Structure 1
Amino acid sequence: MTTTPLAKRSVGTQIINYDAVIIGAGFGGIYMLKKLRDELGLKVRAFDKAAGVGGTWFWNRYPGALSDSETFVYCFSWDRELCQEWDINTRYVDQPQILSYMNHVVDRHDLREDIQLETAITSAVFDEETSRWLISTDDGQQYSAKYLVTALGLLSATNIPNIKGLNQFKGQTYHTANWPADAVLEGKRVGVIGTGSTGTQVITAIAPVVGHLSVFQRSPQYTVPVGNGPVSREAADDIKRNYDAIWEQVRSSRLAFGFEESDIPTMSVSPEERKKIFQRGWDGGGGFRFMFQTFNDIAIDEQANLAAQDFIREKISEIVKDPETARKLMPRDLYAKRPLCDSGYYATFNRPNVSLVDVKANPIEEITATGIRTADGVEHELDVIVFATGFDAVDGNYKRIDIRGRNNVSIKDHWSDGPSSYLSVATANFPNMFMILGPNGPFTNLPPTIETEVEWVSDMIEYMEDNELACTEPDPESERQWSETCREIADKMLFAKGDSWIFGANIPGKTNSVYFYMGGLGPFSEMLTSVKNADYRGFKFMSLSVPVRYAQKALS
């Protein structure tokens, strides 16, 4: 390994040089390492603060953790042989299955030797004199790289609400995204705060084993059955035979979930037929299938959305035996958050050891030494508090690293009015920094989008290497136009009218902003291709000191 005397290096510290440094060893970091190392021949190092690979799936080990993307599309499509060999035995994959798969991929392609675990990146600073990134880690080591690739994940910066008295609780506290291996819940009095996707999963999973479960619900949820279960050998073989057609459909679709999205408007059929179609979606399972495979306008038309709401509320009243509990569980707002699915969530509240606390009507006042006290003065005595309170999504992990671009501008200041990007993969004033699942990328099943972005970034880096270019970044106008495009599309969706982490609403004080491109993976891929074919329209390319070319053409 070589060293270099960069201007910002610490006295006496040897700086280790790489062509590229990758932050993160989840789906994005693993594939990025494979592309840059094995296909471009670059010297690459991937870092992760975790003790193992897997990203989100390393940390989220809570009971009931399950992907809501089906097994056959929640994987790497680029390893065709592995897709043919891998045993598809359940419709959906749980956390241990996903983590086993990702470790298998890393070992199968000999990637582990270039992944450095238990090492957190503390800062990454762009050196304008050398057009390289200076990267520091929590063990005091420094690295230099021409390219910095962030594969931090959308849902990885944990969110713990600031509740009075949190530190005085004498029992155990767990966050679902940092679940300890030695957690003991059997027979305990457990309180769960949060009823989003993670909350519904963990509540359903632990209810049969805990002594008593108190669910502290701020917002009731629309959720449908997941429909998980075994996959027959015939069905698995059929998937493998149709591999190419399946992935062609996935990449050209909007959602990339592996099903044909409906082209039927909700109100174009009779009430009786509408109920039959909803019932088929309920029986078949899957949150995204229910919202997008039944009808084509649930996410954009309020009348259609109301019909879906009414169907789910009717199901809640049928399933939940206690009328008051059913009333509390019934959402009254738009069905316009990330579509949830479950393994028996509503029925869980029929159990005698489960109680529901409506903290919107009766807020949490304080966490005490022995439990949680609500505004009515009741102290709910607990042995364990589980925070299923989600994440500071999309840009949260970026703000936890000291990332500085041109003129020493920090990413926090650059995104002070909300995160932005050009095409999700880059942002102005941060040269040679490429983001996998950066702000304003597609709202989809994630592995196909990750593959799309990794392949595009790899192509751009190859272009730069072939043309001996020093660095690149988007021009601010192209980034502004992409943000406007994402906002215009989001405003046509009902999602924009709801309070959701999709727009940052789960974090107090966070700017309500557009975080996703809602136009779908197919159109997004076409946009990436058109930018590439137009000599990377919207990017400027520079030598060490003087711009050699500036592509100023606006997005078409």
Structure 2
Amino acid sequence: MSIPNPGRAEAGLAADGRTVADVGAGVGADAAVDTDVVVIGAGFAGLYGVHRFRQDGLSVRGFERGSGVGGTWFWNRYPGARCDIESIYYSYSFSDELQQDWTWTHRYATQPELLAYLNHVADRFDLRRSFSFDTSVTSAVFDDDTQTWVVGTDRGETVRCRFVVMATGPLSTPVDPQIPGLAEFGGQVLRTSDWPADVDLAGKRVAIVGTGSSCIQSAPIIADQAEHLYVVQRTPQFSIPAWNRAYDEDEIARIKAGYPRMREDAWATVGGILYEQPDHDPLTADPQQREAWLERTWARGGYLMIASYPNVVFDEEVNALVGEFVKTKLRARIRDEDVAGRLMPTYPFAAKRLCVDTDYFEIYNRDDVTLVDLRESGIDHVEAAGIVRDDGSRIDLDVIVLATGFHALTGAILAMDLRGRGGVRIQDKWSGSASNYLGFALAGFPNLFMVNGPGSVGVLYNMIPAAEQHIDFAADTIAYLDAHGLASVEPTEDAEKSWSAHVNEVAEQSVYPKANTWYMGDNVLGKPREFLAYAGGGPAYFRHFAQEAADGYPGFVLRERSS
């Protein structure tokens, strides 16, 4: 979704009259580069990035650590892996031909269907030829003398480029729990983030550690396969039934005919998904009216329960009303009152990422599924035979599944040797806070763009249109630089500080800081505690980009090429 760049009256001047001449050396017009743009990652963002940059006439190299395209959906192949955003929204909007050509089978697509879709996109737009697979980018160092990036890979290749696009995914770097003795376990240790193809759980005693989305999706299927399943829970979760179903031919025909309007209307919503909104204030409405509406939102199902009322994450009283309604619904799914009590969340509704499930809570009605609540007794250590808890009790196991989450939004970037102007390391820049501008660019790191980075709306919005918007803004910005003979773009320090303050200010008005979550960086030891997303909604967020373009990038420093 491209944002127009209107151009300046005079090249070399910012809209507010600032000079854009670099204090140091600029890049010459004949500076040698191997490619214009390096794109890191071949998921939704990376594939679209390669397509858009090539459409603009730029040369592009893509790098992907996996052996194929797919990003998240290449790696997350655990049983039951499924998108928690409806398929028709969680898909590209840049090509109507693609929309008409591809037919989704279910309301919520499974991992195999999503991976098939991304492979279809790669083939349809001939994107594979621009990627080097089985290749990790290990370093990206800005060369101050030539104003270019030098990108290194684990295969020993070095590529010099003008721009780097971090399409690395906000949830792509898994966190391994520091459980004493895990290496001594005599059985099999599996990770939902890297599930092998030949797993046979039949007749085995399995423990799954962690109760986020990966557990909630996989546990019902693992329970059907294993002899006994132990769900090791630290924090209970809110989860809403998906009510998944197959699309019929008439529904698909209506969807395809209405795609243009649907995309336009969805873009203008807070979360990037169309939904019916209430016609009443929950605090003043008749209780029967409110209850009837909440029943409708429950029947709608899925992540959209967070949109039951517009202010559900900003008004604690509204939040409590919705949270109690949901917990009543969850309790009704569990026969044992004691187990139900241990499965009830104690934090504000949706302060942790809202999960979407199919028959998750119902597994606790089975005799071959046991809830292990770490709040009652933690894990002391793992030994060859299984888990030993703090109270001395033992759980004999054949398989331990780690569903322990991700180093969200910053992990993949911090894992690289990434250095900006003057050799400044990203690890040093982000030692106290993941400061940046718009969740998109970094002061001191010219011509480097993040997609759905920390401080962006991405993980609170539909990430596919959000990724398209970031890529389009990056492409439009590159076109602007080239049209005006400019070498580089990076945020000002003031713009970066202002954006970080704004992100925190909005978050502090919400319930998000009231829970320990990956949103806040709480799941990674030593990570600064701060809200890592923009909670102000899509329309407000995207207006910042539109205003930057319309005003001539006042939040950025633009530098000229040297002669």
Calculate the TM-score normalised by the size of structure 1: 0.93
Is the Cα contact below 8 Å between 2:347 and 2:514 reproduced in 1? no
The one of 340, 350, 362 equivalent to 1:347 is 362
TM-fit CA distance, 1:262: 4.1
The one of 452, 470, 476 equivalent to 1:437 is 452
Question: Which residue of structure 1 lines up, in the alignment, with residue 206 of structure 2?
Answer: 190
For residues 77-476 of structure 1, the aligned pairs below 5 Å read: 77-262=93-278, 264-287=280-303, 289-292=304-307, 294-335=308-349, 336-442=351-457, 443-476=460-493
CA distance in 2, matches of 1:490, 1:69: 23
Give me the CA root mean square deviation: 1.4
Report the residue type matching 2:162 in the other structure.
Answer: K
User: What's the secondary structure of 1:66's corresponding residue?
Assistant: coil
Change in Cα spacing, 1:515 to 1:40, as seen in structure 2 (3 Å) is: same
Change in Cα spacing, 1:498 to 1:545, as seen in structure 2 (3 Å) is: farther
CA distance in 1, matches of 2:170, 2:300: 28
Is the Cα contact below 8 Å between 2:278 and 2:293 reproduced in 1? no
The one of 34, 38, 62 equivalent to 1:46 is 62
CA distance in 2, matches of 1:105, 1:18: 23
User: What's the secondary structure of 2:332's corresponding residue?
Assistant: helix
CA distance in 2, matches of 1:78, 1:462: 18
TM-fit CA distance, 1:16: 7.4
Report the residue type matching 2:102 in the other structure.
Answer: W
CA distance in 2, matches of 1:208, 1:543: 63
CA distance in 2, matches of 1:238, 1:433: 41
Is the Cα contact below 8 Å between 2:81 and 2:110 reproduced in 1? yes
Is the Cα contact below 8 Å between 2:485 and 2:561 reproduced in 1? no
CA distance in 1, matches of 2:323, 2:146: 57
1:344-396 per-residue CA deviation (whole Å, 9 max, x = no partner) reads 11111001110001102211111111111111211101111111111000000
CA distance in 2, matches of 1:480, 1:83: 40
TM-fit CA distance, 1:300: 1.4
Question: Which residue of structure 2 lines up, in the alignment, with residue 539 of structure 1?
Answer: 556
Is the Cα contact below 8 Å between 1:254 and 1:520 reproduced in 2? yes
CA distance in 2, matches of 1:528, 1:217: 41
Change in Cα spacing, 1:264 to 1:393, as seen in structure 2 (3 Å) is: farther
User: What's the secondary structure of 2:84's corresponding residue?
Assistant: strand
Is the Cα contact below 8 Å between 2:241 and 2:301 reproduced in 1? yes
- Bigger drift between 151-160 and 294-303 goes to 294-303
CA distance in 2, matches of 1:262, 1:197: 27
Is the Cα contact below 8 Å between 2:487 and 2:558 reproduced in 1? yes
TM-fit CA distance, 1:263: 5.8
CA distance in 1, matches of 2:56, 2:317: 52
TM-fit CA distance, 1:26: 0.5
Report the residue type matching 2:478 in the other structure.
Answer: I
Report the residue type matching 1:481 in the other structure.
Answer: S
Report the residue type matching 2:401 in the other structure.
Answer: V
User: What's the secondary structure of 2:446's corresponding residue?
Assistant: coil
CA distance in 2, matches of 1:268, 1:237: 41
- Bigger drift between 328-337 and 354-363 goes to 328-337
Question: Which residue of structure 2 lines up, in the alignment, with residue 10 of structure 1?
Answer: none
TM-fit CA distance, 1:545: 6.3
TM-fit CA distance, 1:544: 4.9
The one of 49, 53, 57 equivalent to 1:36 is 53
Report the residue type matching 1:512 in the other structure.
Answer: R
CA distance in 2, matches of 1:393, 1:76: 23
1:270-297 per-residue CA deviation (whole Å, 9 max, x = no partner) reads 222222222222222112x1121x2222
Superposed structure 1 runs of 4+ greater than 6 Å apart = none
TM-fit CA distance, 1:261: 4.4
Report the residue type matching 1:334 in the other structure.
Answer: P
Is the Cα contact below 8 Å between 1:130 and 1:544 reproduced in 2? no
Change in Cα spacing, 1:422 to 1:381, as seen in structure 2 (3 Å) is: same
Structure number with greater CO (CA < 8 Å, separation at least 6) is 2
CA distance in 1, matches of 2:525, 2:163: 34
TM-fit CA distance, 1:89: 2.3
Report the residue type matching 1:97 in the other structure.
Answer: E
User: What's the secondary structure of 1:470's corresponding residue?
Assistant: strand
Name structure 2 gaps, 5 residues minimum.
1-31
Is the Cα contact below 8 Å between 2:33 and 2:162 reproduced in 1? no
Question: Which residue of structure 2 lines up, in the alignment, with residue 553 of structure 1?
Answer: none
TM-fit CA distance, 1:421: 1.5
- Bigger drift between 277-286 and 133-142 goes to 277-286
User: What's the secondary structure of 2:88's corresponding residue?
Assistant: helix
Report the residue type matching 2:236 in the other structure.
Answer: P
User: What's the secondary structure of 1:72's corresponding residue?
Assistant: coil
- Bigger drift between 440-449 and 323-332 goes to 323-332
User: What's the secondary structure of 1:471's corresponding residue?
Assistant: strand
- Bigger drift between 15-24 and 481-490 goes to 15-24
Change in Cα spacing, 1:180 to 1:150, as seen in structure 2 (3 Å) is: same
Is the Cα contact below 8 Å between 2:267 and 2:273 reproduced in 1? no
1:384-416 per-residue CA deviation (whole Å, 9 max, x = no partner) reads 111111100000011111000011011111111
CA distance in 1, matches of 2:314, 2:398: 44
Question: Which residue of structure 2 lines up, in the alignment, with residue 17 of structure 1?
Answer: 34
